[in-house]
Structure 1
Amino acid sequence: MYSPSKFGADSYARIGLETSVNSASPYELVALLFQGARRAIRMGRVHMQNGNIPEKGKLISQAIVIVGGGLQQGLNLEQGGDLAQRLNALYDYMTRRLLEANVRNDPALLDEIDSLLATIEDGWNGIKPELKSSAGLTQLTATA
Protein backbone atom coordinates (compact mmCIF):
# COMPACT_ATOMS: atom_id res chain seq x y z
CA MET A 1 0.00 0.00 0.00
CA TYR A 2 1.27 3.45 -0.90
CA SER A 3 1.64 6.19 1.61
CA PRO A 4 0.43 9.60 0.39
CA SER A 5 4.01 10.88 0.18
CA LYS A 6 5.13 7.79 -1.77
CA PHE A 7 2.24 8.19 -4.19
CA GLY A 8 3.10 11.87 -4.68
CA ALA A 9 6.78 11.08 -5.28
CA ASP A 10 5.88 8.37 -7.80
CA SER A 11 3.52 10.72 -9.63
CA TYR A 12 6.16 13.43 -9.74
CA ALA A 13 8.73 10.97 -11.09
CA ARG A 14 6.32 9.76 -13.80
CA ILE A 15 5.60 13.32 -14.88
CA GLY A 16 9.32 14.04 -15.02
CA LEU A 17 9.96 10.95 -17.12
CA GLU A 18 7.07 11.71 -19.47
CA THR A 19 8.40 15.24 -19.95
CA SER A 20 11.89 13.88 -20.65
CA VAL A 21 10.56 11.39 -23.20
CA ASN A 22 8.26 13.88 -24.92
CA SER A 23 11.01 16.46 -25.34
CA ALA A 24 13.85 14.05 -26.18
CA SER A 25 15.57 13.72 -29.52
CA PRO A 26 15.93 10.22 -31.02
CA TYR A 27 19.49 10.19 -29.66
CA GLU A 28 18.25 11.05 -26.16
CA LEU A 29 15.46 8.46 -26.37
CA VAL A 30 18.00 5.71 -26.88
CA ALA A 31 20.01 7.05 -23.93
CA LEU A 32 16.81 6.95 -21.82
CA LEU A 33 16.24 3.33 -22.88
CA PHE A 34 19.71 2.37 -21.64
CA GLN A 35 19.07 4.15 -18.35
CA GLY A 36 15.67 2.53 -17.93
CA ALA A 37 16.89 -0.98 -18.69
CA ARG A 38 19.83 -0.69 -16.33
CA ARG A 39 17.65 0.77 -13.58
CA ALA A 40 15.12 -2.07 -13.97
CA ILE A 41 17.93 -4.64 -13.78
CA ARG A 42 19.44 -3.06 -10.67
CA MET A 43 16.07 -2.83 -8.94
CA GLY A 44 15.18 -6.36 -10.05
CA ARG A 45 18.41 -7.58 -8.47
CA VAL A 46 17.52 -5.90 -5.16
CA HIS A 47 14.07 -7.51 -5.16
CA MET A 48 15.62 -10.85 -6.13
CA GLN A 49 17.97 -10.68 -3.14
CA ASN A 50 15.11 -9.65 -0.83
CA GLY A 51 12.88 -12.50 -2.02
CA ASN A 52 10.23 -10.18 -3.44
CA ILE A 53 9.40 -12.41 -6.40
CA PRO A 54 6.49 -10.40 -7.88
CA GLU A 55 8.47 -7.15 -8.02
CA LYS A 56 11.57 -8.95 -9.28
CA GLY A 57 9.57 -10.48 -12.11
CA LYS A 58 7.93 -7.17 -12.97
CA LEU A 59 11.24 -5.31 -13.15
CA ILE A 60 13.09 -7.98 -15.11
CA SER A 61 10.16 -8.15 -17.53
CA GLN A 62 10.41 -4.39 -17.88
CA ALA A 63 14.11 -4.72 -18.72
CA ILE A 64 13.29 -7.39 -21.31
CA VAL A 65 10.74 -5.10 -22.96
CA ILE A 66 13.20 -2.20 -23.03
CA VAL A 67 16.06 -4.26 -24.46
CA GLY A 68 14.02 -6.33 -26.92
CA GLY A 69 11.24 -3.92 -27.72
CA GLY A 70 13.07 -0.62 -27.44
CA LEU A 71 16.77 -0.96 -28.12
CA GLN A 72 16.56 -3.95 -30.45
CA GLN A 73 13.51 -2.75 -32.38
CA GLY A 74 15.13 0.68 -32.74
CA LEU A 75 17.95 -0.78 -34.83
CA ASN A 76 17.84 -0.16 -38.55
CA LEU A 77 19.12 -3.49 -39.81
CA GLU A 78 19.00 -2.41 -43.46
CA GLN A 79 21.16 0.69 -43.06
CA GLY A 80 23.11 -0.16 -39.92
CA GLY A 81 25.37 -2.74 -41.52
CA ASP A 82 27.46 -5.14 -39.51
CA LEU A 83 27.24 -3.09 -36.31
CA ALA A 84 23.44 -3.13 -36.28
CA GLN A 85 23.46 -6.88 -37.00
CA ARG A 86 25.84 -7.53 -34.11
CA LEU A 87 23.84 -5.36 -31.74
CA ASN A 88 20.69 -7.18 -32.82
CA ALA A 89 22.27 -10.53 -31.91
CA LEU A 90 23.58 -9.13 -28.63
CA TYR A 91 20.19 -7.71 -27.64
CA ASP A 92 18.62 -11.08 -28.45
CA TYR A 93 21.19 -12.76 -26.20
CA MET A 94 20.47 -10.26 -23.43
CA THR A 95 16.72 -10.84 -23.50
CA ARG A 96 17.27 -14.60 -23.26
CA ARG A 97 19.71 -14.19 -20.36
CA LEU A 98 17.31 -11.84 -18.55
CA LEU A 99 14.57 -14.43 -18.84
CA GLU A 100 16.96 -17.09 -17.56
CA ALA A 101 18.01 -14.85 -14.64
CA ASN A 102 14.36 -14.37 -13.72
CA VAL A 103 13.54 -18.08 -13.83
CA ARG A 104 16.71 -19.17 -11.99
CA ASN A 105 16.84 -16.23 -9.55
CA ASP A 106 20.45 -15.69 -10.58
CA PRO A 107 21.82 -12.25 -9.76
CA ALA A 108 25.08 -13.02 -11.57
CA LEU A 109 23.17 -13.13 -14.86
CA LEU A 110 21.66 -9.72 -14.10
CA ASP A 111 25.16 -8.39 -13.41
CA GLU A 112 26.34 -9.78 -16.76
CA ILE A 113 23.57 -8.03 -18.68
CA ASP A 114 24.00 -4.78 -16.77
CA SER A 115 27.71 -4.85 -17.61
CA LEU A 116 27.00 -5.44 -21.30
CA LEU A 117 24.46 -2.62 -21.36
CA ALA A 118 26.90 -0.31 -19.58
CA THR A 119 29.53 -0.96 -22.24
CA ILE A 120 27.11 -0.28 -25.09
CA GLU A 121 25.72 2.77 -23.28
CA ASP A 122 29.22 4.21 -22.88
CA GLY A 123 29.82 3.75 -26.59
CA TRP A 124 26.45 5.31 -27.44
CA ASN A 125 27.12 8.31 -25.24
CA GLY A 126 30.49 8.78 -26.94
CA ILE A 127 29.03 9.11 -30.44
CA LYS A 128 27.77 12.44 -31.69
CA PRO A 129 24.01 12.45 -32.42
CA GLU A 130 24.55 13.38 -36.09
CA LEU A 131 26.72 10.31 -36.62
CA LYS A 132 24.21 7.99 -34.97
CA SER A 133 21.43 8.81 -37.39
CA SER A 134 23.68 8.68 -40.45
CA ALA A 135 25.05 5.28 -39.40
CA GLY A 136 21.53 3.85 -39.29
CA LEU A 137 21.82 2.86 -35.63
CA THR A 138 18.40 4.17 -34.76
CA GLN A 139 15.24 4.53 -36.75
CA LEU A 140 13.40 6.36 -33.98
CA THR A 141 11.91 9.65 -35.00
CA ALA A 142 10.93 12.68 -33.00
CA THR A 143 7.31 11.55 -33.22
CA ALA A 144 8.03 8.04 -31.89
Structure 2
Amino acid sequence: MALNNPYATYKNQSVNTATAEDLTLKLYEGCIKFINLAIIGIDQKNIELSNTNIIKAQNIINELNITLNMDYEISKNLRALYDYLNRRLVEANISKDKDILEEVKEFVVEFRDTWKQAMIIARKGK
Protein backbone atom coordinates (compact mmCIF):
# COMPACT_ATOMS: atom_id res chain seq x y z
CA MET A 1 0.00 0.00 0.00
CA ALA A 2 1.45 3.35 -1.06
CA LEU A 3 1.83 6.13 1.49
CA ASN A 4 -0.04 9.36 0.81
CA ASN A 5 2.13 12.33 -0.03
CA PRO A 6 1.26 15.01 2.56
CA TYR A 7 2.25 17.84 0.20
CA ALA A 8 0.00 16.47 -2.56
CA THR A 9 -2.84 16.08 -0.08
CA TYR A 10 -2.39 19.66 1.14
CA LYS A 11 -2.18 21.00 -2.41
CA ASN A 12 -5.30 19.10 -3.46
CA GLN A 13 -7.18 20.32 -0.39
CA SER A 14 -6.12 23.94 -0.97
CA VAL A 15 -7.46 23.82 -4.53
CA ASN A 16 -10.69 22.08 -3.55
CA THR A 17 -11.47 24.65 -0.84
CA ALA A 18 -10.27 27.77 -2.67
CA THR A 19 -12.64 30.48 -3.82
CA ALA A 20 -12.92 31.31 -7.51
CA GLU A 21 -10.89 34.44 -6.81
CA ASP A 22 -8.13 32.44 -5.12
CA LEU A 23 -8.07 29.95 -8.00
CA THR A 24 -7.61 32.78 -10.49
CA LEU A 25 -4.70 34.08 -8.43
CA LYS A 26 -3.18 30.58 -8.37
CA LEU A 27 -3.50 30.39 -12.16
CA TYR A 28 -1.62 33.66 -12.60
CA GLU A 29 1.09 32.50 -10.19
CA GLY A 30 1.36 29.14 -11.95
CA CYS A 31 1.69 30.83 -15.32
CA ILE A 32 4.55 32.98 -14.02
CA LYS A 33 6.24 29.89 -12.58
CA PHE A 34 5.99 27.99 -15.87
CA ILE A 35 7.30 30.94 -17.88
CA ASN A 36 10.29 31.16 -15.53
CA LEU A 37 10.93 27.43 -15.97
CA ALA A 38 10.69 27.81 -19.75
CA ILE A 39 13.30 30.58 -19.61
CA ILE A 40 15.58 28.27 -17.62
CA GLY A 41 15.01 25.59 -20.25
CA ILE A 42 16.05 27.98 -23.02
CA ASP A 43 19.14 29.05 -21.05
CA GLN A 44 20.11 25.40 -20.58
CA LYS A 45 19.33 24.55 -24.23
CA ASN A 46 16.80 22.06 -22.85
CA ILE A 47 14.13 22.08 -25.54
CA GLU A 48 11.88 19.63 -23.70
CA LEU A 49 11.88 21.73 -20.51
CA SER A 50 11.13 24.95 -22.36
CA ASN A 51 8.47 23.37 -24.57
CA THR A 52 6.69 21.62 -21.70
CA ASN A 53 6.54 24.76 -19.59
CA ILE A 54 5.50 27.07 -22.41
CA ILE A 55 2.63 24.69 -23.15
CA LYS A 56 1.66 24.72 -19.46
CA ALA A 57 1.66 28.54 -19.52
CA GLN A 58 -0.49 28.45 -22.69
CA ASN A 59 -2.92 26.07 -21.01
CA ILE A 60 -3.32 28.49 -18.13
CA ILE A 61 -3.85 31.47 -20.43
CA ASN A 62 -6.44 29.43 -22.34
CA GLU A 63 -8.19 28.49 -19.09
CA LEU A 64 -8.29 32.13 -17.99
CA ASN A 65 -9.66 33.04 -21.42
CA ILE A 66 -12.48 30.49 -21.54
CA THR A 67 -13.66 31.27 -18.02
CA LEU A 68 -14.18 34.98 -18.70
CA ASN A 69 -17.67 36.26 -17.97
CA MET A 70 -18.45 38.07 -21.21
CA ASP A 71 -21.28 40.06 -19.57
CA TYR A 72 -18.65 42.63 -18.59
CA GLU A 73 -16.90 45.02 -20.96
CA ILE A 74 -13.50 44.35 -19.37
CA SER A 75 -13.81 40.69 -20.33
CA LYS A 76 -13.71 41.63 -24.01
CA ASN A 77 -10.46 43.50 -23.41
CA LEU A 78 -9.02 40.63 -21.39
CA ARG A 79 -10.00 38.14 -24.11
CA ALA A 80 -8.04 40.17 -26.67
CA LEU A 81 -5.03 40.33 -24.33
CA TYR A 82 -5.18 36.61 -23.53
CA ASP A 83 -5.36 35.83 -27.26
CA TYR A 84 -2.32 38.04 -27.82
CA LEU A 85 -0.39 36.36 -24.99
CA ASN A 86 -1.24 32.92 -26.35
CA ARG A 87 0.05 33.89 -29.81
CA ARG A 88 3.23 35.28 -28.25
CA LEU A 89 3.76 32.05 -26.31
CA VAL A 90 3.44 30.08 -29.55
CA GLU A 91 6.04 32.37 -31.14
CA ALA A 92 8.34 31.99 -28.12
CA ASN A 93 8.05 28.23 -28.30
CA ILE A 94 8.85 28.11 -32.00
CA SER A 95 11.79 30.51 -31.80
CA LYS A 96 12.88 29.74 -28.21
CA ASP A 97 12.91 33.50 -27.60
CA LYS A 98 13.40 34.55 -23.97
CA ASP A 99 12.53 38.18 -24.75
CA ILE A 100 9.03 37.15 -25.81
CA LEU A 101 8.65 35.10 -22.63
CA GLU A 102 9.75 38.09 -20.55
CA GLU A 103 7.17 40.24 -22.35
CA VAL A 104 4.40 37.74 -21.61
CA LYS A 105 5.57 37.41 -18.02
CA GLU A 106 5.35 41.19 -17.53
CA PHE A 107 1.71 41.10 -18.60
CA VAL A 108 0.90 38.16 -16.35
CA VAL A 109 2.66 39.75 -13.36
CA GLU A 110 0.62 42.91 -13.95
CA PHE A 111 -2.59 40.86 -14.17
CA ARG A 112 -1.70 39.02 -10.96
CA ASP A 113 -0.87 42.19 -9.06
CA THR A 114 -4.06 43.89 -10.24
CA TRP A 115 -6.08 40.81 -9.32
CA LYS A 116 -4.56 40.79 -5.81
CA GLN A 117 -5.53 44.44 -5.35
CA ALA A 118 -9.07 43.74 -6.58
CA MET A 119 -9.35 40.86 -4.10
CA ILE A 120 -8.27 43.13 -1.24
CA ILE A 121 -10.75 45.83 -2.23
CA ALA A 122 -13.58 43.31 -2.64
CA ARG A 123 -12.90 41.74 0.77
CA LYS A 124 -12.85 45.15 2.47
CA GLY A 125 -16.22 45.89 0.90
CA LYS A 126 -17.87 42.84 2.47
> Shorter chain as normaliser: what TM range?
0.7 to 0.9
1:40 pairs, out of 23, 27, 34, with 34
1:108 pairs, out of 73, 95, 99, with 99
- Structure 1 counterpart of 2:11: 17
TM-score if structure 2 supplies the norm length? Answer: 0.87
SS at match of 2:77: helix
Is 1:27–1:129's contact at 8 Å kept on the other side of the alignment?
no
- Structure 1 counterpart of 2:72: 80
CA deviation after TM superposition for structure 1 residue 12, in Å = 5.2
- Structure 1 counterpart of 2:114: 123
CA deviation after TM superposition for structure 1 residue 102, in Å = 0.7
**Structure 2 CA distance for aligned equivalents of residues 15 and 113 of structure 1:** 31
CA deviation after TM superposition for structure 1 residue 13, in Å = 4.6
**Structure 2 CA distance for aligned equivalents of residues 33 and 102 of structure 1:** 20
Amino acid at match of 1:75: L
Equivalent residues in 2 for 1:45-64, closer than 5 Å: 45-64=39-58
**Structure 2 CA distance for aligned equivalents of residues 52 and 90 of structure 1:** 29
* Bigger relative contact order, structure 1 or 2 (CA pairs below 8 A, ≥6 apart): 1
Distance 1:124 1:57, change over 3 A: same
1:29 aligns with 2:31: no
SS at match of 2:69: coil
SS at match of 1:24: coil
CA deviation after TM superposition for structure 1 residue 17, in Å = 2.7
Aligned residues: 119
TM-score if structure 1 supplies the norm length? Answer: 0.76
What 5-or-longer segments of structure 2 have no aligned partner? none
SS at match of 1:72: helix
Percent of matched pairs sharing the same residue:
28
Amino acid at match of 1:56: S
**Structure 2 CA distance for aligned equivalents of residues 51 and 18 of structure 1:** 33
